[in-house]
Amino acid sequence: MHSPAPLKFASPLLDEATVAAATDVLRSGHITSGPWVERFEAALSAHCEGRPVRVLTSATAAVEVALQLAGVGPGDEVITCAQSFFTVLNMIVKVGATPVFVDCEPVTRNIDLGQVEAKIGPRTRAIIPTHWPGSLTNLDALYALARRHELRVIEDAALVLGSRWRSRQVGAIGDLVTLSFHPNKNITTIEGGAIVCNDDAEAKRIEVLRFHGIERLADGTRDVAFPGGKFNLSDVSARIGVAQLERLPGFLATRRALVERYFARFATDPACELPPRPVDGDGQSWNMFCVLLPLARLAITRKEFREALAARGIMTGVSYEALHLSTLGRRYGYREGDLPETERIAAATVTLPLHAAMTMADVDRVCAACAEVVALHRKGGR
């Protein structure tokens, strides 16, 4: 018998038409930012109900530029959730601000807005929530809070392109919203990201910040008043993005169907903790499917669980470590026990395979393997 092919936990789905389209751009000789960047930005803007969108080389660059656009810098504080990817922490620190962490909600993993207000102080300039697949941050409550305290909001929507809040696309409402087009996201440009902003003036400012901070003067020369980065997306990547965005509805339908299969078939003894199952399944884009292992009832560690799945050809991830307990986070005085829900989730989470190239049989294979590994290693044996 042949062993089944390895199953990646994330993988882009690029068809031959997209590869051919990218090749056409390469052959055109115009491969840096150009007309395809403009077309991709226009298509993303249409997706976000006409709000201006500017693309960059990564979501990390998008968060950095969004912080700069919001005027966040040395001496400022930014409140965020410690259950997120390293990007958020890194970019807050990179612009010279201080991260102020709050805990996450125990089920959704979204920022605990009830804790945010208590952390707002005279130096607070912005709030950065990370939206989690399966359940978005409560945008009504978030923006009501931000308005009361005159704070900017930067929504980290890297995981949720295509999700909807009260029937409206993420990015269609709110303040600044950052998106990711990394290969493990809902669409890809190979590497890439974007900022959804409020008006043309902000969009123009992003264009300056993403290209060295250069501003053109009336006499045709250039000047720099702010140390901008070099974050402009190539036309090759943008051409891929246009094709991917056209396929987004199909990708999302596949992801939702796969998640429904997970909910129907995933069962272990002892039970793993599953993500929240939304009432409106069509409103969520499902970039990831994370479970929490019942480690207290298992005779193996998370690392050993992942290795057991890898031995069966099933790759997994860890989404995410607790930011406040990273070496960088600890420099701001954070210690174990400060954010118990984040720490509980970070210690037990495993990201299972989920991407648009998967089949229902793949989901069944993952579910069967997880059940087998848990049964083999539960304390007290079978």
In whole angstroms, give the CA distance from residue 335 to residue 326: 10
Q: Looking at the chain, which residues constitute the CATH 3.40.640.10 domain(s)?
A: 16-242
The pLDDT, as a whole number, for residue 223 is 97
Helical H segments across 214-287, by residue range? 235-265
- Name residue, tokens 């392109």: 161
What's the gap between Cα 343 and its chain centre?
A: 19
Look at residues 5, 49, 139, 102 and name the one whose alpha carbon lies nearest to residue 334: 102
Right CATH number for 16-242 from 3.40.640.10, 3.40.50.880, 3.10.20.30, 3.40.50.12640? Answer: 3.40.640.10
- Residue 80, strand partner residues: 101, 128
Residues near 95 by Cβ (< 8 Å), separated by ≥ 6?
64, 67, 68, 72, 73
> What number of residues does the chain have?
382
Token code pair at residue 281: 């399944």
The CA distance from 367 to 348, in Å, is 17
- The DSSP code for 199 is S
Tell me the DSSP string of 342-375: HHHHHHHEEEEP--TT--HHHHHHHHHHHHHHHH
What per-residue confidence (pLDDT) applies to 5?
A: 87
CATH of 248-377, one of 3.90.1150.10, 3.30.70.340, 3.40.50.300, 3.20.20.120: 3.90.1150.10
* Per-residue confidence (pLDDT) for residue 286, from 0 to 100: 96
| Alpha carbon distance 287, 289 (integer Å) | 7
CA 54 to chain centre: 17
Residue 187 has phi, psi (to 5 degrees) of -135, 160
Query: CATH 3.90.1150.10 in the chain, residues?
Result: 248-377
Give the Cα separation of 24 and 21 in Å (integer): 5
Cα gap 56→322, rounded to integer Å: 27
pLDDT digits (tens, 9 = 90+) for 297-325: 999 999 999 999 999 999 999 999 999 99
Residues acting as catalytic residues: 185
Neighbours of 297 (CB within 10 A): 14
What is the model's pLDDT at position 4?
80
**How many C-beta atoms surround the C-beta of residue 327 within 10 A?**
6
Instruction: Give CA torsion, residues 27, 28, 34, 37, to 10 deg.
Output: -50
- What's the confidence (pLDDT) of residue 282? 72
Task: Check: CB of residue 101 under 8 Å from CB of residue 339.
Answer: yes
CB 209, CB 65: distance < 8 Å: yes
Tens digit of pLDDT at every position of the chain (382 positions):
467 889 999 999 999 999 999 999 999 989 999 999 999 999 999 999 999 999 999 999 999 999 999 999 999 999 999 999 999 999 999 999 999 999 999 999 999 999 999 999 999 999 999 999 989 999 999 999 999 999 999 999 999 999 999 999 999 999 999 999 999 999 999 999 999 999 999 999 999 999 999 999 999 999 999 999 999 999 999 999 999 999 999 999 999 999 999 999 999 999 999 999 877 767 999 999 999 999 999 999 999 999 999 999 999 999 999 999 999 999 999 999 999 999 999 999 999 999 999 999 999 999 999 999 999 999 986 6
pLDDT for position 3? 73
Amino acid at 10: A
**Cβ proximity of 71 and 51 under 8 Å:** no
DSSP 3-state assignment of 172? coil
